A and B are shown apart, each in its own frame.
Chain A
């Protein structure tokens, strides 16, 4: 398309894309497609607003964000979907959250799908009785330590009080924490609302329930890491090697017991800012735990994130150990990258996924010498594009106001600021640490890069036509349409059933996968030898 140094200005082509839309839709979509003017300066983008009906969106719903994303990866909770069967069925094992219980016998309900399978009479006469009974049956059969209930669309409409029932059952059992999520699919405008609802309820009902403190000098939580394809296992391996104690992960390879004691950690590391920043903020306010945005996607990014932990704890021994680990891990990474990079250098990537992944994975592509020409989120907010500094300027609309914002206060006994204001300021000044903040994706993209929120199917096909990327990153719904266009699609939700991609070993996996998909010759089989309309074949024929 162009040499890698400068990107073409896509504004003209944007106009062409918008022409297809009805006027009102064009006006709305125009604000969701913005060009990076100058590097470091994020353009204002329209994000976290309602999707235009009929437009063919990537987005899912609040239930998917709550049950599927945040709670799904936790192995020792019985998650009961209260609703007709579909929602429970579709969120059954489909997200590849891997988990490894401590023992062969330890609780692991991940392979099970629990549902109240509401029938018409439950919709007409109410589903409370059935829900109460379902919770009882789950308790009697499995005696779990926790049961959670997820509302689907009709539940909110018919007015089942899932919270009251949960409280009642919790009291009745005595030894089982029961709590509920009002994550009806129509709440908010995307999965994002469900993340917030999940954060709130886990914070209210679980975090701080167990004051047992783990042994260890450097105790942290990983927030927003869901162990797709084993990412959390790789991060755990690295942290362990550095002598850093992982108290809890929200929520990859997680246990509800880990959440309960997570307030005993001394630092929160935020991976997926979009889905979990609420938790980080609430834990800071209530317990005094500072948070840092990190990124374990990309070898350099991993090294940088580890160094941040070392700097935070201000411990020479730890920093030395971290440097040793980086020195030990990097040669293998460098060996691979030097072999692979000649095959990937200068190739083009487009990323339309998630609320953080479209940002994080640009690191890996840049390690491969590849250019991200266009990217966007499925359910991001403006702060995920433009950085947290825009938070005060975001006007809350009705859809966002409907999602509860918890009022959190200092815990009278357990609030314990891990660092004083002065210490934090010093770390920011001397070590360059940035607390409680996040630089948005657009701020780190090149001039003329096209940033698109909630991309539509129409736009997807048009921008592919324009950029002719070597790889397009999105999810399962997009995968085969894009590949039918002759462009490989790398799924960044499920990793195409590969991974891990996090950490040092994960980076190597990613380099190899991208080298494979951008260098495979299978696409050359598409044109049959008798198809003379194809330029290449015609050339071969005329040459001889």
Chain B
């Protein structure tokens, strides 16, 4: 047993987190910044933060993840990181020539109280920021929230840095994507195009973190939301923020700064959340839903009605980010499955409220935990007491899956040991189809594996 020390008996913990279901803010900020075209993320802290975040993202995407660091030493920790950051800005623009540097802080630079706003202003005064180039920034202290908070803070930083108020409204919507994969961002764009709405989507990591093999390394791949697009978000008619935890702050900032009203929606995972997204596009874009979208939806529902017997009553344990878990759990309930254990390291009171609303009739005895000590160790303890039929979460679940012999569907961050997440979407109707294919495959493989010879089925 790899997790041989996990105790069945649940003991209340107040200080020790074991096998976390979250990580820290800066990695989210780095990921969000990669969704700006020609942007180099910059980590204002010790070298290790940047190395760790780049490694985590690289292992997850199998793609180059370029980012720089202020390389704090003991001296800079005492005297402040101003000179390191100004040097870094100068070196980055000279050597790596991005259009944008997106600076995020770390627990180190936050604890010593570096004022990045002031440092960037000084860099500008000193002539270290070439004409027409940008340095944006976000405060991302690792001791608050989680990686999702860091993503949200960088999106807010993008709005602060680029969105320009305008008296001449544009006939376009802002689509602010929560933390999803490049494949999902590509799928959200496809849905918007099919709907025939004009839109600016940010961030957009498609064609950045799923770049083609061409024999050349492009320091800044073709993808990412461009600066003119980001600047125009202030003139859009409305914002759709997908995922409250990861995109609300940016939508609020756009409203505050540029008076662009917003709706907060779930990330469109599953039938109903996608329905809401499509309806919202229809409403705010003043367009009808085209037949091909209705047909796509119908195909998903057809799979569900055909395969209902394999899904009914299946118990699921899930861990990950609130913005993914909320619509996903709703989808599982629509499939008449039983999301039984749900854990997220990301704090926020609303999580439990939302889960309760979805689960109160369908799975009244579901266990839900988020915030401090809501970790994978706790989830494993629950499973030890009462097992489930399926695990859904990031790669770290493979240890529980192996020890407890439970089918496991990888979803979330990070996925270190499989490919697919960056190429095939989870969002939209096609994403729902992929989720169904994967879950059904797991249940049927398990049935095939465990069936006695006399009842081994050819047709299922």
Instruction: List chain A positions with a Cβ less than 8 A from chain B.
Output: 20-22, 25, 50-64, 80, 83-94, 104-105, 107-109, 111-120, 122-123, 130-134, 136-138, 140-142, 152-154, 156-158, 184-190, 398-399, 402, 456-458, 461, 475-477, 479-486, 523, 526-527
Known: A54-B90, A138-B16. A118 touches B52 (CB 8 A): no
CA distance A90 to B16 in the complex (A): 17
Known: A111-B2, A115-B20. A458 touches B27 (CB 8 A): no
CA distance A368 to B240 in the complex (A): 58
Known: A154-B143, A477-B51, A477-B65. A133 touches B15 (CB 8 A): yes
Q: Which residue on chain B has the smallest CB distance to residue A53?
A: B88
Indicate if the CB atoms of A526 and B46 lie closer than 8 Å. no
B17 proximity list for chain A (CB < 8 A)? 85, 88, 114-117
B56 proximity list for chain A (CB < 8 A)? 90
Q: Which B residues from 23 to 65 make CB contacts under 8 A with A?
A: 23-27, 42, 45-49, 51-56, 58-59, 62-65
Indicate if the CB atoms of B88 and A60 lie closer than 8 Å. no
Q: Tell whether B197 is near chain A: CB-to-CB under 8 Å.
A: no
Q: Tell whether B71 is near chain A: CB-to-CB under 8 Å.
A: yes
A475 proximity list for chain B (CB < 8 A)? 55
A83 proximity list for chain B (CB < 8 A)? 107, 142
CA distance A189 to B71 in the complex (A): 8
Chain A proximity of B147: nearest CB distance (Å): 8
Q: Tell whether B456 is near chain A: CB-to-CB under 8 Å.
A: no
Some 20 contacts from A to B, beta carbons below 8 A apart, are A22-B91, A54-B70, A54-B89, A56-B67, A59-B47, A61-B48, A85-B146, A89-B23, A109-B5, A112-B5, A153-B77, A157-B77, A157-B112, A158-B111, A185-B48, A186-B73, A458-B95, A458-B96, A476-B55, A481-B64
Q: Tell whether B87 is near chain A: CB-to-CB under 8 Å.
A: yes
Q: Which residue on chain A has the smallest CB distance to residue B59?
A: A476
Q: Please name the 10 residue pairs, one residue from A and one from B, whose CB atoms are nearest each other, closest first.
A: A61-B48, A86-B24, A54-B88, A185-B46, A133-B15, A84-B142, A54-B91, A90-B52, A481-B64, A53-B88
Q: Tell whether B13 is near chain A: CB-to-CB under 8 Å.
A: yes
Indicate if the CB atoms of B215 and A526 lie closer than 8 Å. yes
CA distance A122 to B17 in the complex (A): 14
Q: Which residue on chain B has the smallest CB distance to residue A51?
A: B71
| Tally of B interface residues using CB under 8 Å | 86
Chain A proximity of B456: nearest CB distance (Å): 32
**Residue with the highest number of chain B CB atoms closer than 10 Å, among A85, A112, A475, A484:** A85
Per DSSP, chain B at the interface is loop
Bitwise, B7-27 to A at CB < 8 A (1) or not (0) is 100010111111110111111
Q: Tell whether B322 is near chain A: CB-to-CB under 8 Å.
A: no
CA distance A63 to B107 in the complex (A): 14
Indicate if the CB atoms of A88 and B20 lie closer than 8 Å. yes
A138 proximity list for chain B (CB < 8 A)? 16
**Residue with the highest number of chain A CB atoms closer than 10 Å, among B17, B68, B92, B345:** B17
Instruction: List chain B positions with a Cβ less than 8 A from chain A.
Output: 1-5, 7, 11, 13-20, 22-27, 42, 45-49, 51-56, 58-59, 62-77, 84-85, 87-92, 94-96, 106-108, 111-112, 141-144, 146, 211, 213-218, 345, 372-373, 377, 396, 399, 416
A133 proximity list for chain B (CB < 8 A)? 14-16
**Residue with the highest number of chain A CB atoms closer than 10 Å, among B16, B91, B215:** B16
Q: Among the listed B48, B55, B107, B372, which residue makes an inter-chain contact with A62, where contact means beta carbons less than 8 Å apart?
A: B48
Indicate if the CB atoms of B51 and A61 lie closer than 8 Å. yes
CA distance A117 to B22 in the complex (A): 10
B70 proximity list for chain A (CB < 8 A)? 53-54
Known: A60-B51, A85-B20, A187-B74. A137 touches B46 (CB 8 A): no
Indicate if the CB atoms of B141 and A120 lie closer than 8 Å. yes
Known: A55-B95, A64-B52, A153-B106. A185 touches B213 (CB 8 A): no
A52 proximity list for chain B (CB < 8 A)? 71, 87, 91
Known A54-B90, A131-B15, A485-B216; 10 more pairs at CB < 8 Å: A54-B88, A55-B68, A113-B20, A133-B16, A153-B77, A156-B77, A185-B48, A458-B95, A480-B64, A526-B213
Q: Among the listed B18, B66, B71, B142, which residue makes an inter-chain contact with A457, where contact means beta carbons less than 8 Å apart?
A: B66
Known: A52-B91, A54-B87, A86-B27. A461 touches B72 (CB 8 A): no
A50 proximity list for chain B (CB < 8 A)? 71, 73
CA distance A86 to B49 in the complex (A): 8
Indicate if the CB atoms of A157 and B111 lie closer than 8 Å. yes
Indicate if the CB atoms of B143 and A122 lie closer than 8 Å. yes
A60 proximity list for chain B (CB < 8 A)? 47-48, 51-52
Known: A108-B4, A484-B218. A153 touches B143 (CB 8 A): no
**Residue with the highest number of chain B CB atoms closer than 10 Å, among A54, A60, A108:** A54
CA distance A475 to B23 in the complex (A): 22
Chain B proximity of A355: nearest CB distance (Å): 15
A90 proximity list for chain B (CB < 8 A)? 23, 52-53, 55-56
Chain B proximity of A370: nearest CB distance (Å): 23
Indicate if the CB atoms of A137 and B16 lie closer than 8 Å. yes
Indicate if the CB atoms of A118 and B58 lie closer than 8 Å. no
Chain B proximity of A92: nearest CB distance (Å): 7
A131 proximity list for chain B (CB < 8 A)? 15
Known: A57-B47, A116-B16, A479-B58. A86 touches B26 (CB 8 A): yes
Chain B proximity of A67: nearest CB distance (Å): 10
Q: Which residue on chain A has the smallest CB distance to residue B214?
A: A526
Q: Among the listed B112, B143, B345, which residue makes an inter-chain contact with A120, where contact means beta carbons less than 8 Å apart?
A: B143
Chain B proximity of A480: nearest CB distance (Å): 5
B15 proximity list for chain A (CB < 8 A)? 116, 130-134, 136-137
Indicate if the CB atoms of B143 and A84 lie closer than 8 Å. yes
Indicate if the CB atoms of B14 and A157 lie closer than 8 Å. no
A402 proximity list for chain B (CB < 8 A)? 74
Indicate if the CB atoms of A484 and B58 lie closer than 8 Å. no
Chain A proximity of B86: nearest CB distance (Å): 9
Chain B proximity of A537: nearest CB distance (Å): 12
B106 proximity list for chain A (CB < 8 A)? 153
Indicate if the CB atoms of B74 and A86 lie closer than 8 Å. no
A188 proximity list for chain B (CB < 8 A)? 73
CA distance A21 to B95 in the complex (A): 6
Indicate if the CB atoms of B52 and A87 lie closer than 8 Å. yes
Chain B proximity of A413: nearest CB distance (Å): 37
Known: A87-B52, A111-B399. A55 touches B59 (CB 8 A): no
